[in-house]
């Protein structure tokens, strides 16, 4: 299923999406399938799989450490596409990675590989809209959604430019900073949600780690809630991983479902 | 739509959060760079704080030995011991004019961190410097100097624990504190407009050389040689001469312990010589990377050259054949370090020793011509411990 269809399905039920991020190959390639299935059992509607990069400047310590674990366990772009192609899942998969890995593989080839592996969308946190023309065109040609980030610092002019080029969903960054679990939801979230006026679904990420926060974000008007570091923390602990991932996904999805809109 | 500025190189490959900050920086720079009050203050700092202008010294003993007239641009005499202060004065002033109250910076050898600490203390900024754990170990004196001047030094334990990881961490800090903070990048790297701003503030080096060499030789040099890591001292001395097409420009990179690569690391830092196109730290440039695009760790005896990328304008000048990328290895640099100390009574930084080493290698072939200017970008006091340890056979 692709991303727009997933959001249509959820909208028909009056639900917002739980979008779960984990780093592919963390801690090993063999672990990823089980992790993804646990997230889906818990209620994840879309799964983002990070393709780890050696220098992830938009990420906080949790995802940096996950990237290092995955890379030292041997993850690379070839294995990534192989692994994703072999996943037996119904939910849309999204590739999140840094631009140099796309550039080095060749933009066209990277997008074609996404397509072949059943990946529905791409997020590139270090590629602003000004530099994205070639990748954006390639994504359109190949029916891969190109998901852009919008930050609290993004100007109206830039929001409009991003809305013109983005598809799938808009990734609204809830706070100024890097990725990482936090205990509160930033006040800026509400304001940003109302500033971005579009029919494309709006998902909020950066800092969300529990059901209460997920509920708040949906009540603020989010069509999706993105959670990464809180899942990655569980993976890093190495203790009872899949059961706890499933439980956290369930807590988050329950939070989303309990929101009054 | 791309913002590339130097042929296919440059651009702004940064998280969305930073895009408005880069626009604000460019706007601020365009507003103040020709502002008489700003320029007056810049001149004052360069002269009375940094000690400019620096001499263009005729190295008579070296010249005699190598059979060509060798001049040293004495950036080692700038306050703090390296050219880095030229840039930190300019950017700190700019930050002040733009109303910022906090400065973050990365540092490799500690020279840029020290220069940032100096202007930060002098101009009253809260100053934070990120430095790789590996570099902190080999540059303890600079760490202490920074702390003496009230700068907070943060140890970076991620990745290769060197300059590239310090840049990552400084960028993350900037992403988090973008409102009141200026990121004072130390080389001609990073997203636009940084490579341009740093080049412009460092061009004082080349501009002085232009006048000084006319006074001494009545003509421009045949070649200019500068060591190149990120490339700020190189762009600083090259830029005013780029349009003088007869003058050869040599960018000497660190050949490290060999021009080869293992699985995760290069044994050198020669991204201009053997790097491939890629995107690192906000710019498209030449970088050291594996076949998937993962950044390789670099190596050099000198922390200041130990970097996997290079300024995008240098990559462009190399592409169009305007400059010649070349390299000197650890041993050659060490030999040059000793030779300059012994022959001229000047102890050069290990970084600058690479430029000297290349001249010593190439002089005989005649490719450098009759008049050569070497950018002596820093002094070697900070490297004494490294050299002592190497000679004891340790590391």
What mean pLDDT comes out for the span A220-245? 97
Cβ–Cβ < 8 Å for B59, B66:
no
* Terminal CA-CA length for chain B: 48
Q: How many CB pairs under 8 A join A and B?
A: 127
Residue A149 to residue B16, Cβ atoms within 8 A: yes
Min distance B130 CA to chain A CA atoms (Å): 14
Closest CA to A80 of A96, A58, A66, A92: A96
A119-158: pLDDT as tens digits: 999 999 999 999 999 999 999 999 999 999 999 999 999 9
Give chain A positions within 8 Å (CB) of B21: 153
Quick check: A242 pLDDT over 80?
yes
CA distance A39 to chain B (A): 27
pLDDT at B123: 98
When pLDDT is cut at 50, 70 and 90, the band that residue A175 belongs to is confident
Catalytic annotation present for A59: yes
Q: What is the DSSP string of B10-72?
A: E-----GGGHHHHHHHHHHHHHHTT-HHHHHHHHHIIIIIT-PSPPEEE-HHHHHHHTSEEEE
> Across residues B302-327, what is the average pLDDT?
96
Answer for the pair B368, B326: CB distance below 8 angstroms, yes or no. Answer: no
The two tokens of residue B175 are 């992403």
CA A201 to centroid of chain Cα atoms: 13
Among A66, A96, A126, most B C-beta atoms within 10 A, so best to mutate, is: A126
Q: What is the pLDDT of residue A181?
A: 72
Cα–Cα dist A212/B171, whole Å: 31
Which residues, at least 6 apart from B203, have a Cβ–Cβ distance to it below 8 Å?
Answer: B235, B236, B239, B240
Query: Cα distance from A41 to chain B (closest Cα, Å)?
Result: 32
Please name the residues in contact with A78: beta carbons below 8 A apart, sequence gap of 6 or more.
Answer: B292
Answer whether A76 touches B (CB < 8 Å): yes
Mean pLDDT score, B63-70:
97
Q: Assess contact for B99 and B125: CB atoms under 8 A.
A: no
Q: Does A70 reach chain B within 8 Å, measured CB to CB?
A: no
Tokens 């809630």 belong to residue: A225
Determine contact, residues B228/B239, Cβ cutoff 8 Å.
no
What confidence score (pLDDT) does residue B158 get? 87
Is A184 known to be catalytic?
no
User: How far apart are the C-alpha atoms of A107 and A38, rounded to whole Å?
Assistant: 32
**Mean pLDDT value across chain A:** 95
Distance CA A50, CA A30 (A): 15
Q: From chain A, pick out residues whose CB is under 8 angstroms from the CB of B276.
A: 104
Contacts of A53 in chain B (CB under 8 A): 293-294
Residue range B353-363: mean pLDDT, rounded: 97
What Rg value do the Cα atoms of chain A yield, rounded? 17
| Complex confidence, ipTM | 0.95
pTM for this model (two decimals) = 0.96
Phi, psi (deg, nearest 5) at residue B19: -55, -45
The predicted-structure confidence for A190-221, as pLDDT tens digits, reads as follows: 899 999 999 999 999 988 999 999 999 999 99
Distance CA(B133)–CA(B350), nearest Å, equals 19
DSSP state of A16: P
Q: Where are the domains of chain A?
A: 3-258
Tell me, yes or no, if A182 comes closer than 8 A to chain B by beta carbon: no
Instruction: Write down the pLDDT at residue B394.
Output: 53
pLDDT at res. B182: 97
pLDDT in tens, A30-81: 999 999 999 999 999 999 999 999 999 999 889 999 999 999 999 999 999 9
CATH architecture of A3-258: Alpha-Beta Barrel (3.20)
Contact B168 A55 (CB under 8 A): yes
A164 touches B: beta carbon within 8 Å: no
Taking the CA of residue B195 and the nearest CA in chain A, the distance in Å comes to 17
| Beta-strand pair A93-96/A119-123 | parallel
* Contacting residues of B for A178, CB less than 8 Å apart: 172, 175-176
């Amino acid at each position: 299923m692709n991303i727009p269809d997933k959001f249509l399905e959820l909208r028909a039920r009056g639900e917002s999406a739980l979008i779960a991020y984990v780093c592919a190959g963390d801690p090993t390639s063999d672990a990823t399938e089980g992790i993804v299935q646990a997230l889906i059992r818990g209620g994840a509607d879309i799964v983002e799989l990070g393709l780890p990069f050696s220098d992830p400047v938009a990420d906080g310590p949790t995802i940096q450490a996950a990237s290092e674990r995955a890379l030292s366990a041997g993850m690379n772009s070839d294995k990534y596409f192989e692994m994703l192609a072999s996943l037996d899942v119904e939910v849309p998969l999204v590739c999140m990675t840094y631009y140099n890995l796309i550039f080095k593989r060749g933009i066209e080839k990277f997008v074609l590989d996404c397509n072949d592996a059943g990946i529905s969308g791409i997020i590139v946190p270090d590629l602003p809209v000004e530099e994205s023309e070639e990748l954006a065109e390639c994504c359109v040609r190949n029916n891969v959604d190109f998901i852009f980030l919008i930050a609290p610092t993004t100007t109206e002019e830039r929001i409009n430019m991003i809305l013109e080029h983005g598809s799938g969903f808009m990734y609204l960054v809830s706070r100024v900073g890097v990725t990482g679990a936090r205990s509160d939801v930033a006040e800026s979230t509400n304001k940003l949600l109302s500033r971005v006026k579009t029919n494309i679904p709006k998902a909020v990420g950066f800092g969300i780690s529990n059901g209460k926060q997920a509920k708040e974000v949906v009540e603020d008007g989010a069509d999706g809630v993105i959670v990464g570091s809180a899942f990655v923390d569980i993976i890093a602990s190495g203790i009872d991983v899949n059961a706890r991932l499933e439980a956290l996904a369930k807590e988050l999805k329950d939070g989303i479902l309990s929101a009054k809109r | 739509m791309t913002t590339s500025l130097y042929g296919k190189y440059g651009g702004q490959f940064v998280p969305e959060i930073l895009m408005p900050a880069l626009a604000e920086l460019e706007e601020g720079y365009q507003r103040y760079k020709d502002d008489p009050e700003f320029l007056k203050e810049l001149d004052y700092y360069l002269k009375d704080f940094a000690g400019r202008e620096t001499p263009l010294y005729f190295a008579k003993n070296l010249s005699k030995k190598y059979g060509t007239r060798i001049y040293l641009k004495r950036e080692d005499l700038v306050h703090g011991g390296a050219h880095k202060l030229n840039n930190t004065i300019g950017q700190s002033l700019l930050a002040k004019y733009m109303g910022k109250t906090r400065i973050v910076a990365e540092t490799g050898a500690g020279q840029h961190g020290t220069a940032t600490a100096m202007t930060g203390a002098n101009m009253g900024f809260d100053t934070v410097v990120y430095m790789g754990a590996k570099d902190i170990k080999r540059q303890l004196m600079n760490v202490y100097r920074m702390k003496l001047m009230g700068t907070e030094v943060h140890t970076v334990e991620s990745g290769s624990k060197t300059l590239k990881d310090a840049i990552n961490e400084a960028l993350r800090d900037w992403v988090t504190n973008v409102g009141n903070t200026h990121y004072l990048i130390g080389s001609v790297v990073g997203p636009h407009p940084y490579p341009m701003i740093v080049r412009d503030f460092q061009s004082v080096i080349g501009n002085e050389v232009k006048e000084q060499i006319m006074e001494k030789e009545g003509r421009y040099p045949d070649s200019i040689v500068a060591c190149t890591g990120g490339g700020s001292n190189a762009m600083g001395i090259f830029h005013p001469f780029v349009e003088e097409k007869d003058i050869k420009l040599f960018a000497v990179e660190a050949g490290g312990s060999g021009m080869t690569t293992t699985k995760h690391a290069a044994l050198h830092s020669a991204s201009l010589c053997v790097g491939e196109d890629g995107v690192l730290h906000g710019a498209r440039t030449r970088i050291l990377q594996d076949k998937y695009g993962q950044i390789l760790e670099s190596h050099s005896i000198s922390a200041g050259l130990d970097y996997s990328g290079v300024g995008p304008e240098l990559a462009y000048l190399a592409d169009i054949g305007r400059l010649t990328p070349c390299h000197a290895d650890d041993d050659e640099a060490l030999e040059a370090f000793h030779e300059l100390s012994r022959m001229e009574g000047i102890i050069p930084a290990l970084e600058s020793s690479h430029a000297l080493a290349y001249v010593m290698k190439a002089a005989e072939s005649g490719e450098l011509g009759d008049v050569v200017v070497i950018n002596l970008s820093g002094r070697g006091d900070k490297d004494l411990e490294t050299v002592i340890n190497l000679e004891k056979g340790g590391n």
